[in-house]
């Protein structure tokens, strides 16, 4: 029988969709979720769907050319709130489940985020950016050319953000809106950023997080606070000794769980733990101090935007434990953390759980899951019977005509004898006896994790006839805290050797043509790509995305540069510039002879485009090997995952064309 399936294309990205943010109704019979896809105009749409667990039906609750997200059930299950840009800025909307009319609840000038219902269902807490003197009832800002300021005074170091743009005059505040009257009460103020956590069961307190230190530019601690909704004195739960987030009350209101880590020299390269505060006793305890696993989903993919709402620690009804997502060895699953510190794996497997919602009464959950061949779908798990049922197949029709390559897991010996995990994708249509070129892919972070999740770019390269190799060198999450911190101060050292050992390992296979190798990566992966081609000419071609080439200038231009450099390079320009220069690929330009494609977003504030400009200009001025520079106007650091759809497809096409030309 003839196989009529084809390999995946760059343009297939326009048709891939994924579900996220599942939320079970209070009675456990229904779930709402968000489905994101691109429309015929190649623009994103996110719509809210209702899934009945009783008759397995799926109904669209919202539609149109809008981005709807963050659906949340009212406590009695009769209503939903959600965030939508259907009136312009992202505002809070209200929907009666039995009706079809929407009601806009907020009209904040800069939009709102993160709604949380009060226990009595009368109010909703949310967060919103506000300029000094702005209120949440004055209507949205119109950003016209006439309204653009002629000058901007910058008086703080954290004045821009790759996520939120320029925030030099804005801070995130927490407020509560009455859904019947629309009246808004702002609970926080000042030049601090605040985030919503959860309501106490009696509705009197709101748990929030904030950095309210004397100098937030330098002091990065984030604390947990209890704020009285009716006014009064705040209660500070943590002691400004770490970064804590997502506080959730136990069912009896006597405990507060949250996720975080104690601050030391590592702000990024520290495993997130589960903490519990006994509110009456005033004590705080780390439950997972001895569990060397990162709490949270650290898995990198390229079809879902990062930053999905994390459910945090979800309490059991009896208050004796919490369900959380955690990441280890290329997988993320659901774990039950008991109050005695013991941990039980609830949902495992070689896959990426990126969201879930729990039904305490039925002891069941609905989760959002991706694996190596599935961008994302929803599954129902009955923990009583340990049975699992797939609820959606959102890409089934598309993938019926596409042949994908199934990754093969590898473990190999890296630098210093360390065991390193990775994967090999063979070319689509692979035939024994043939040889194929290979591409080494390097993830960003560096504190993230490749794993058992769908990666469109990798499948595209496999469809083009390449062997794709991707690994988790030291610095990656998933293998313990010593492993994740091992690259700090040693960028281009043993992490580089881990990657080169991966190349050595795969080149033993007779189907890999070791004379035709390529290398690619973004962010830290872009840094490492630059570093690799500065070491020699092993690779025929390289593609570097949103990369870093000069740590000295990065310090002053990145939105995180001045403190990221201190942790990751363990140097700064005024005390030890020699070390910063030592780790800078720009220093190695004289050795670079590999054809290099440089791609960068012009609105990237994480790794600003001046990094690409320096590398390109220096290579061209020295008359080195072929180099090309592609700029993406308006694109930020997340362009390859959540950027303009047409720019994402162009980037993939440029990548394939470069490797096809030179490898």
Q: Which residues are catalytic?
A: 523, 637
Cα–Cα–Cα angle for 61, 649, 544, nearest 5°? 125
Nearest CA to 415 among 329, 469, 337, 487? 487
Q: Match 């009197």 to its residue by tokens.
A: 204
Using DSSP bridges, classify how beta strands 160-161 and 273-278 pair: parallel, antiparallel or unpaired: unpaired
Span between the terminal Cα atoms of the chain, in Å: 33
Q: Which parts of 307-452 are beta strand (E)?
A: 314-315, 321-328, 331-338, 343-347, 352-359, 364-371, 374-382, 387-390, 408-413, 419-425, 436-442
Nearest CA to 93 among 101, 63, 350, 429? 101
Contacts of 292 (CB under 8 A, 6+ apart): 271, 480, 481
Cα–Cα–Cα angle for 443, 450, 663, nearest 5°? 55
- As a whole number of angstroms, the distance between CA 295 and CA 388 comes to 23
- As a whole number of angstroms, the distance between CA 205 and CA 186 comes to 14
- As a whole number of angstroms, the distance between CA 208 and CA 197 comes to 5
Judged on CB neighbours under 10 Å (0-12, 13-18, 19+), 1 is exposed
Asked whether 566 and 541 are in contact (CB, 8 A), the reply is no
Asked whether 9 and 1 are in contact (CB, 8 A), the reply is no
- As a whole number of angstroms, the distance between CA 338 and CA 316 comes to 10
């Amino acid at each position: 029988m003839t196989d009529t399936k084809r390999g995946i294309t760059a343009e297939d990205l326009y048709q891939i969709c994924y579900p996220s943010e599942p939320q079970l109704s209070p009675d456990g019979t229904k779930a709402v979720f968000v489905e994101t896809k691109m429309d015929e105009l190649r623009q994103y749409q996110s719509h809210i769907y209702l899934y009945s667990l009783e008759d397995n039906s799926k109904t669209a609750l919202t539609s149109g050319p809008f981005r709807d997200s963050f659906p949340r059930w009212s406590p009695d299950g009769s209503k939903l709130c959600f965030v939508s840009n259907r009136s312009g800025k992202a505002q809070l909307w209200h929907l009666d489940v039995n009706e079809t009319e929407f009601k806009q609840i907020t009209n904040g000038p800069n939009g709102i985020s993160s709604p949380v219902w009060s226990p009595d269902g009368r109010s909703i807490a949310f967060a919103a950016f506000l300029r000094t003197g702005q209120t949440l009832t004055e209507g949205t800002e119109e950003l016209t050319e006439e309204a653009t300021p002629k000058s901007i005074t910058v008086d703080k170091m954290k004045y821009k953000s790759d996520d939120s743009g320029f925030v030099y005059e804005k801070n995130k505040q927490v407020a509560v809106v009455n859904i019947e009257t629309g009246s808004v009460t702002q609970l926080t103020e000042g030049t601090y950023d605040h985030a919503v956590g959860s309501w106490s069961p009696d509705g009197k307190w709101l748990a929030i997080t904030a950095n309210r230190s004397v100098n937030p530019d330098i002091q990065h601690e984030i604390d947990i606070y209890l704020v009285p909704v009716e006014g009064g004195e705040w209660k500070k739960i943590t002691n400004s000794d770490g970064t804590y987030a997502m506080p959730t009350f136990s069912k009896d209101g006597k405990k507060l769980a949250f996720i975080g880590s104690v601050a030391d020299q590592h702000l990024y390269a520290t495993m997130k733990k589960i903490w519990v505060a006994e509110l009456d006793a005033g004590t705080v305890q780390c439950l997972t101090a001895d569990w060397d696993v990162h709490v949270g989903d650290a898995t990198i993919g390229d079809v879902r935007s990062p930053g999905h709402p994390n459910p945090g620690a979800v309490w059991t009804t009896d208050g004796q434990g919490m369900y959380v997502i955690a990441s280890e060895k290329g997988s993320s699953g659901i774990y039950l953390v008991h109050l005695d510190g013991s941990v039980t794996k609830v949902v495992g497997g070689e896959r990426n759980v990126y969201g879930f919602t729990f039904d305490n009464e039925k002891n069941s959950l609905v989760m959002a899951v991706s694996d190596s061949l599935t961008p994302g779908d929803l599954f129902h798990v009955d923990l009583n019977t340990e049975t699992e049922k797939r609820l959606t197949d959102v890409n089934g029709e598309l993938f019926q005509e596409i042949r994908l390559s199934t990754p093969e897991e590898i473990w190999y010996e890296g630098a210093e004898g360390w065991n390193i995990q990775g994967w090999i994708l063979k070319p689509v249509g692979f035939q024994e006896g043939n040889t194929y070129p290979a591409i080494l892919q390097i993830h960003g972070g560096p504190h993230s994790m490749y794993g058992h999740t769908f990666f469109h770019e990798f499948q595209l390269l496999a469809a083009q006839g390449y062997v794709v190799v991707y690994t988790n060198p030291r610095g990656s999450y998933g293998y313990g805290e010593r492993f994740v911190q091992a690259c700090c101060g040693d960028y281009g050292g043993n992490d580089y050797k881990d990657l080169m050992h991966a190349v050595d390992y795969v080149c033993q296979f007779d189907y890999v043509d070791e004379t035709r190798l390529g290398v690619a990566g973004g962010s830290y992966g872009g840094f490492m790509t630059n570093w690799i081609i500065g070491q020699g000419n092993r690779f025929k071609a390289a593609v570097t995305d949103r990369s870093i080439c000069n740590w000295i200038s990065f310090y002053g231009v990145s939105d995180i540069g001045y403190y990221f450099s201190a942790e990751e390079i363990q140097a700064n320009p005024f005390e030890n510039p020699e070390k910063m220069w030592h780790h800078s690929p720009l220093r190695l330009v004289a050795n670079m002879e590999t054809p290099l494609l440089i791609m960068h977003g012009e609105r990237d504030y994480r790794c600003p485009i001046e990094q690409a400009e320096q590398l390109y200009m220096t290579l061209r001025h020295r008359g080195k090997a072929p180099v090309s520079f592609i700029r993406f106007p308006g694109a930020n650091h997340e362009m390859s995952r959540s950027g303009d759809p047409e720019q994402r497809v162009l980037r993939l096409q440029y990548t394939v064309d470069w490797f096809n030309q030179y490898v």
